[in-house]
Amino acid sequence: MEHARAPREETPTVVAQKPHEYTITYATTEPATRKIHFSDKEIKHLAIAALLVIGVGLSFIGFPNTFYNGYSIDYATLVLFTIIFTTSFFIHEIAHKTAAQRKGFWAEFRLTVMGAILTLLSIISPFFKIISPGAVMVAGFADSESVGKISIAGPATNIALSTIFFAIAFLIPAPIFLLGAAFNAWIALFNLIPFGLLDGFKVFLWDKKVWALAFTASLVLTLISYKIIM
């Protein structure tokens, strides 16, 4: 850009610019803030997803060996299980969101049509139970390390929760805590399968040692919980 010199008299400075000239400002592509935040649209999607997951949790009332106390239903245990069931799912998703937003990416939970339908069918189906009403969508330019760290955040929280529930069950021998440990171990194990769009595939591409450690931990926790419960 060309600037004309101002005369000695107190007159305004005149800036001469050719028609084709322009200025360029260089800036990073990451947002200025990395705070964890939720949009109104995301909150609505989370609310609907929560209702669907709660419905699946309550649908386990049909498993008599788990929530029947003699000849009557143990509603207190069923409600507590549903709370653990729902909370564990959302902690997994929020862990992904938190990891992504802390790195400066756009990340929000969104319902998916197929996932919501499968979760809805799981409420009424006695044969299969799938909780996948949606997922955290992440946008931005990222390398394999960033993608891997965001992906491992979800399963890692479930591994931690499973370990905590096992510790509580050791101190307070109640079946509900074993169920919480088993459920979180299974979520971690399933998501760490190194295939397709699952977290495990992204973690595997980033760091095979991290993947192997997390997968082994989730597998051991799953086997232990299965052996105890069965």
Measure the CA–CA gap between 134 and 123, rounded to whole angstroms: 16
One domain for residues 134 and 223: no
Cβ burial, residue 50 (10 Å; 0-12/13-18/19+): middle
Determine, yes or no, domain membership for 23: no
Same domain, 119 and 94: yes
Which of 121, 141, 161 terminates a domain? The answer is 141
Name, of 32-41, 69-78, 171-180, the range with top average pLDDT: 171-180
One domain, residues 115 and 202: no
Cα-Cα-Cα-Cα dihedral of 174, 175, 177, 178, to 10°? 130
Which residue type occupies 38?
A: F
Asked if residue 22 belongs to a domain, the reply is: no
Residue 174's pLDDT is: 82
Query: Residue 64: which pLDDT band, with cuts at 50, 70 and 90?
Result: low
Round the average pLDDT of the chain to a whole number and report it: 83
Determine which helix (DSSP H) or strand (DSSP E) holds 10, and give its type and residue range: none
Q: Contact, 84 vs 176, CB < 8 A?
A: yes
Pick from 92, 125, 141: which residue ends a domain?
141
Are residues 222 and 157 both part of a single domain?
yes
pLDDT at 9: 46
Q: Is 175 helix (H, G, I), strand (E, B) or coil?
A: helix
CB 203 within 8 A of CB 209: no
User: Residue 184's pLDDT band (boundaries 50, 70, 90)?
Assistant: very high
- pLDDT band, very low/low/confident/very high, at 220 (cuts 50, 70, 90): very high
Q: Let me know if residue 3 belongs to a domain.
A: no
- 18 pLDDT higher than 60: no
Number of independent structural domains in the chain: 2
The reply to whether 134 and 170 lie within a common domain is no
Residue of 187, 205, 195, 225 whose CA lies nearest to 96: 187
pLDDT at 25: 33
126 with 171, same domain? no
Q: Are residues 135 and 146 in the same domain?
A: no
pLDDT band at 11 (very low <50, low <70, confident <90, very high): very low
Residue 45's domain comprises 33-141
How would residue 219 be classed by pLDDT, with cut points 50, 70 and 90? Answer: very high
49 with 101, same domain? yes
Q: State pLDDT tens for residues 128-139.
A: 888 889 999 999
pTM for the complete prediction? 0.79
Residues 6+ positions from 145 with CB-CB distance below 8 Å: 206, 207
> Distance between CA atoms of 104 and 36, rounded to whole angstroms?
10
Domain end position, chosen among 141, 175, 190: 141
**Short-list 48, 55, 63, 62, CA closest to 113:** 48
